[in-house]
Structure formats: structure tokens, C-alpha cells
């Protein structure tokens, strides 16, 4: 149980384009989903918290107009990186809370984004 998927696993895009990353909880309903970014050999950095049916809460320093998050259902959240630049190249990972459990977060496999 508690499986989270992400799609795509890898994406290469050109500067200025937008990329959408999907995060799905496959066998549970996720009240809350989280989006992280991780640069090589660095710690996970929380970008935003999304709750189903409401606006995402962004961490300080994360541009909400650049990183659009939509949590439209209890099993799906999407992150769209708009007008991507090479410095947005990173490993993007989502996690989800199972509403029937307490506080455990289960992570998706991650999406490696390369902006050329």
C-alpha cells in the first residue's frame, strides 16, 4: 500500500517552455501532497504544500507564478514549471499523506528535469 507515482520520470525541455509533472497516489486518498526540489548532493527543499480543493501554500522564496500547483482531486496533484530556465533543472519529487493514517509521507519516484 501507499504507492505514489510521478510522470514523467525524466523530461528535457528548451528554455522558455513549460513542463507539467503529475503526482498520483495509487492506492490511497491523499489529503495533502508536498512538492520538493533536490539539487545534486543537497538536501530536499520543500517548495509547497497542496491540499485538495484549495490553493497551495508556498515556502518562502518559491515563486508561485512560476511553479503552478493544482491539487484537483484526492489522488492527483500537478506541478507546472512555467517559462523554464536552465537553473530550474533539478530533481522534483512529490510526496503524499494518506488521509487514513497519521503523518507518514510517501514519496513518488521523482522527475528529473533538464532545461537546455
Interface residue list for another protein (CB under 8 A): 32, 34, 43-44, 46, 49, 57, 91, 93, 97, 102-110
Least separation, in Å, of the C-beta of 12 and another protein?
A: 16
Q: Which three cell numbers stand for residue 49?
A: 504544500
Least separation, in Å, of the C-beta of 18 and another protein?
A: 23
Nearer to another protein, 46 or 68 (CB): 46
Give the residue among 66, 69, 3, 84 at the shortest CA–CA distance from 35: 69
Name residue 24's beta-bridge partners.
5, 76
Nearer to another protein, 31 or 82 (CB): 31
Nearer to another protein, 65 or 102 (CB): 102
Amino acid at each position: 500500500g501507499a504507492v505514489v507515482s510521478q510522470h514523467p520520470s525524466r523530461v528535457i525541455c528548451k528554455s522558455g517552455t513549460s513542463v507539467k509533472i503529475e503526482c498520483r497516489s495509487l492506492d490511497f486518498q491523499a489529503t495533502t501532497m508536498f512538492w520538493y526540489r533536490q539539487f545534486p548532493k543537497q538536501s530536499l527543499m520543500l517548495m509547497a504544500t497542496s491540499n485538495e480543493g484549495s490553493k497551495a501554500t508556498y515556502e518562502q522564496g518559491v515563486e508561485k507564478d512560476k511553479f503552478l500547483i493544482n491539487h484537483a482531486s484526492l489522488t492527483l496533484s500537478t506541478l507546472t514549471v512555467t517559462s523554464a530556465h536552465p537553473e530550474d533543472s533539478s530533481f522534483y519529487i512529490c510526496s503524499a499523506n494518506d488521509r487514513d493514517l497519521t503523518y507518514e509521507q510517501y514519496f513518488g519516484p521523482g522527475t528529473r528535469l533538464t532545461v537546455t
